[in-house]
Amino acid sequence: MTTCQNKVSYYEPNGRFAATFTSVADDYREVFVLCGNTDPHGARAICETCASNPQVMQEIQRHEETAAKDNAWLRRSAGWGEI
3-state class (DSSP) for residue 38: strand
- Listed in sequence order, the DSSP H helices in the chain are 24-27, 48-51, 54-78
- pTM to 2 decimal places: 0.68
Domain spans, the chain = 7-78
How far is it, in rounded angstroms, from Cα 38 to Cα 58? 18
pLDDT tens per residue, range 12-39:
887 765 555 555 556 788 999 999 999 9
Residue 43 CA, chain-centre distance (Å), reads 3
